[in-house]
Chain A
Amino acid sequence: MNIRLVSLPNPRQKSAASITACLILLCSLFILNAMIDETGLGTDLGRRYLAPGHGSILGTDWLGRDMFTRITKGLCMSFHIGIMSAIGSSLIAVIMGLAAAVFGKKVDAIVALLIDAFLSVPHIVLLILVSFTLGGGFKGIVIAVCVSHWSRLARIIRAEILQLKGSDYIMMSYRLGRSRRWIMAHHMLPHVSSQFLIGLILMFPHAILHAAGLSFLGFGMTPDRPCIGVLLSESMRHISTGYWWLALFPGAALVALVKIFDVIGENASRMLNPRTKQE
């Protein structure tokens, strides 16, 4: 019995370990980013289409820009865009969802209407509209993604809380004289925190891909400061011409980044979810 306790960590410890590992990976990305200077972002027309290993780790592109530098810088840029817009839109979603569930019928009707309205507009239309109005760039993309992506999560959170409202322990809490606000803060928020996290994780790749789409259409980032989406859309053509490294490495980097977030999110939700946190 004792031996088992020592040799096999419990699920919470395992989760904590995975999260730590992922955070270390993320940190190393930032350290790497800080260590690399920006000369690799400039064009060097004498060193075009170098395959990986021939004088540069991940090869160079059609203008002689170093892919390793571009991917590292691009990942960081995408990380920033992703995290900012994911947090932003999940926050909007939680506020909307909570407001709908807590502040009575009228507010609920308005929020439900808003959710329907935003769900019925195609994302890309809204994204272009907002990003264009704000003049594109980092700010434009982040706000555009925030404004267009909160509705799905808000709907889930609203449903969750409506369901919660009918559950026994909430009823009991009411009967015991707790205020709505207290119940919201102590019972409802913790309950939806896992939804929040999952929403955040799901939003993250979305945000990066939309940033790429917007940049491709000319409303987002400029290509001299690449985000990973720009790298991917640029490399599309080069797949058919055989310059595989231009697409493979940014793609793999994006998958890795998203996977890291996935692992963090999954484990965090396991640790926070009221149903599994005691395991």
Chain B
Amino acid sequence: MLKRFISMLILSFILLCGCGPAQTIKPGDLVLAIGGESAEGYDPTMGWGRYGHPLFHSTLLKLDENLNTINDLAVSHTVSNGGLVWTVRIRDNVLFSNGDPLTADDVAYTYNTAAQSGGKADLAMLKEAAAVGPNRIRFTLKYPYIGFIGKLRTLGIVPANIHRTGRNYARNPVGSGPYKFVSWTEGQQLIVEANPYYYGMKPSIKRMIFLFMDEDTSFAAAKAGRVHVVALPPILGKQKIPGMTVHPVRSVDNRGIMFPCVPDTGKKTPEGYSIGNNVTSDIAIRKAINYTVDRRLLAATVLEGFGEPAWGIVDNLPWDEPSIRIKDNDPATARKILKDGGWVDTDGDGIVEKNGTRAEFTLLYYSNDSVRQNLSLACADMGKKIGIKINVAGKSSDEILRLNHSCAVLYGYGSHSPEEMYNLFHGKFAGIEQLNAGFYRNPTVDRYLDKAMSSSTVEESNRYWKLAQWDGKTGMSVRGDAAWAWLVNLTHVYFISDTLDVGASMIEPHGHGWPITANIEKWRFTK
């Protein structure tokens, strides 16, 4: 009764303030409340779609459901000159949604613009993209960089003649993707229609309306039957919604504890932030935490069952090293690791010490993220059992950027490209904002990462990505240096209307954008 009343209250509120959506929805429209509103707008050269599937745009390559790289706009691509030159041939006769032809010049323009903008698209490795024929583009890299294939999969192509005018492209994008942009009321809704000129399989859904609401409002709207697809936090995943079925999607959207890996010697970053932590820089502490946390329990309880244990940053992807899985929930081993590392409780207060240093450190999380908060609290109590005192504190993202070189932080990552692993664990990114925030540095790992990045084939690079995690002697993972304590991979919770068939969804990356729409062409109404 109470639930009903509150849903009604929230709903009437939506109806009062947001009459827009109610008026424009027509029969046959698909209504989604899955977030993904991009504050910066929808310009791929500024970072839209960097987690994949820009929807209005098409990319040169893409991933299929099994995470194989397949062609999208491209018909073929070759790598030559030791990984420095990438040549891509694109389809003929592709049109943008406004009817203009898409040519190699548009592709070159998109890549050069994105490289120069310095935005989140991050194309620092690209020297130049040049059209060498009506449908051939040659990319010249500054250094061999296998991660470039990830860019080919995520960077949406923009029409040069429209984008160049600079007339607020981000708020009025034109592309060659399966859908074309119709309108966007910021903070409320975004409407797209099927692109009549799309070269691929024509989607059966003609019009989609994305509603932007917070999670609780989405939940109320779903209960009232006003949306077909809704993304909800795990805590609401156990709820029943009439006419909808829960659709859990596995992801590499992981959560883990980043440890500062160097001791505090009073050094500061150029910005004046302290570096290092005398407790977490001890490998015994990091390993002990890794061994004692009960990942399965965290997934089953904090995530309400919508999650799986996480062991690394790239779980279940083709470059994941399977042997990094350990037996966790093992306080006995953890205590032994601590004891062998010199950490003993000498004063009987339940907290271990080593050379007068108490095993106590601060774990930060983004204060507006309840899942991270709950994970932090649960881990703190798991740490207490083996004599490690973890003080938990919620901070804003700005504050965390100042503290993340000296405090442990509960972060979330997860990408379809191993580039992220390179950015987080390579010594050369130490102390650069939140890349390698913990100043982790292992020359062997760095060498593997470099070799992986400069490989000329994906298969070869995958071999080195795996070695960087654990090569039998060392590595970044828990078997080696335990630079992080990875905890869980989220399972993204969607509720899908029983009238809609969305096919099989692929493993999703960290939550930005609309990953579930990756196979939008296959969606259809069944009733």
Contact = CB atoms under 8 A, between A and B. Distances in A.
Interface of A: 42-43, 45, 48, 62-64, 136, 215-219, 222-224, 234, 236-242, 244
A50 to B, nearest CB: 13
5 contacts: A42-B381, A42-B384, A63-B377, A223-B394, A240-B216
A218 B395 contact: yes
A202 B18 CA distance: 35
A240 B367 contact: no
- In terms of DSSP, what is the predominant structure of the interface of chain A? loop
Contacts, number: 72
A222 B368 contact: no
B398 to A, nearest CB: 9
Given A218-B368, A222-B394, A237 B2 contact: no
Interface string B351-393: 0000000000000001110100110011011001000000111
B224 interface: no
A58 to B, nearest CB: 17
- In terms of DSSP, what is the predominant structure of the interface of chain B? helix
B297 A45 contact: yes
A218 B235 contact: no
Given A218-B367, A239-B6, A63 B236 contact: no
B393 A222 contact: yes
Contact of A224 (B301, B366, B367, B380): B380
A67 B239 CA distance: 23
B205 interface: no
Interface in B208-238: 215-216, 219-220, 233, 235-236
A237 B297 CA distance: 22
A43 B378 contact: yes
Contacts of A240: 3, 6-7, 216, 219-220, 236
Contact of A45 (B216, B301, B373, B399): B301
A114 B216 CA distance: 41
Nearest to B379: A43
A216 B396 CA distance: 10
B235 A241 contact: yes
Interface in B77-92: none
Interface string B285-311: 000000000000110011000000000
A218 B399 CA distance: 10
Contacts of A222: 392-394
A238 to B, nearest CB: 8
A217 B367 contact: yes
Contacts of B236: 237, 240-241
Interface in B6-32: 6-7
A237 B235 contact: yes
Contacts of A237: 215-216, 233, 235-236, 370
Q: Which of B366, B384, B393, B394 has the largest number of chain A CB atoms within 10 A?
A: B394
Nearest to B400: A218
